[in-house]
Amino acid sequence: MNYITAVLLLRLLNTAIVIKKIISSYNRKLMQYRTMVAEKINIKISVFELNKYQEAIENFHFAIQYKPNCIEAYYNKVVYLLELNNVRRQ
């Protein structure tokens, strides 16, 4: 094996290690994000049960900002807005 081949192999190995670290970091952050969204959804359900509708709506809004394709968050936000409107009318 000549010098250039050895350098190229080391370069490829280094690139593979860096890519593995990047993927690992991405997966960790993705899990943290999913946990955060799940926590927000659980918080909003608890808040609803305590009749704190505005706080629940804010938590849904937060969940939507971080996961715009979460249909459950949109649906629940509308449900809470309607419930808040009903409470205010009474």
Report how far residue 16's alpha carbon sits from residue 32's, in angstroms, rounded to the nearest whole number: 24
Written as one string, the DSSP assignment of 30-73 is: HHHHHHHHHHHHHHHHHHHHTT-HHHHHHHHHHHHHH-TT-HHH
Lowest mean pLDDT among 11-20, 23-32, 48-57: 48-57
Binning pLDDT at 50, 70 and 90, where does residue 90 land?
Answer: low
pLDDT tens digits, 30-85: 888 877 777 777 666 666 666 777 777 888 888 888 888 888 889 988 988 888 77
Residue 10 has pLDDT above 70, yes or no: yes
Query: What top-level class would CATH report for the domain 3-89?
Result: mainly alpha
**Residue 19: per-residue pLDDT:** 84
**Residue 44: per-residue pLDDT:** 63
